[in-house]
Amino acid sequence: MKQILVISGKGGTGKTFFTGCLAVAILNKVIVDCDVDAANLHLLLHPSIEQSFEFFGGKKAFIDKEKCTLCGACREVCQFEAINDDFQVDTISCEGCTICSYVCPASAIVLYEALSGHYFISQTEYGKMVHARLGIAQESSGKLVAKLREIAKEIAETTKADHIILDGPPGIGCPVMASMTGVDLAIAITEPTVSGLHDVKRVIDLARHFKVDLKVIINKYDLNPEMSQHITTHLDKEGVEVIGVIPFSEEILKSVKAGIPYLKFSRGSLARKIEQLIFKILEEIT
């Protein structure tokens, strides 16, 4: 079983579009949407939820009014101003840091496991999909990503899947790290801009830290050919291969608006080129 992760240093580069292409082109796989903070792969793959689970990713403080002496020690130490004048805890502001429970002389504050979101096992036209929805202002996204990957691996082992395809979160934060550890190949989607180069540099550093093989695809490369060449030259010096380029296409935009993976939406010349790029990627990990 090989794990392929699609990432980007920032949002809006075409990461999910390309993951949708992988979902169509690669057979016998499990699909994971690791972007739990702002999941959108479901908009292309339209999963039918088979199982739903609650995710408890953190703790929240609760003040027992019967024990509370109104001394105010908790309010003094709370850095998030989560405890109001009536000594009630605002669960949105509370970060579950536990310091209030330590300073309370009456032991009136307890920490309870808070419902942070839900995760799902679904069926799509393109295979099993594991995805999640993190609640508003909830954290522990890295922990949730790790849970999704654990479930996907179990499904892949049970069904004898050949691949796990991971649609990673943007950026280089905790959920990206949880998505990247242990994968066989990471594909960074970038764009021909100064910020695109800056962000792919950060992704390269992260991949090197985790000792993960990284390839780069420049999306919409023809909007700025000079910058595309500059990125390619820089990455060549870094020893990172630009494995392919994808031109700007109104047809791709139409497929996204229609909520259909591009390789199913079109059978034109660009679709065939993207298929060839995917076959090249598969050769890299065999």
Q: What is the reported pLDDT for 38?
A: 84
Q: What is the reported pLDDT for 177?
A: 93
Q: What is the reported pLDDT for 284?
A: 86
pLDDT beneath 50, residues of the chain: none
**How far is the C-alpha of 285 from the C-alpha of 94, rounded, in Å?**
44
Kindly report, residue by residue over 212-227, the tens digit of the pLDDT.
Answer: 999 999 999 999 999 9
Q: What is the reported pLDDT for 262?
A: 97
Q: What is the reported pLDDT for 171?
A: 86
Torsion of CA 275, 279, 282, 286, to 10 degrees: 160
Q: What is the reported pLDDT for 138?
A: 72
**Dihedrals phi, psi of 283, to nearest 5 degrees:** -65, -30
Q: What is the reported pLDDT for 184?
A: 96
- The one-letter amino acid code at 14 reads G
Q: What is the reported pLDDT for 43?
A: 95
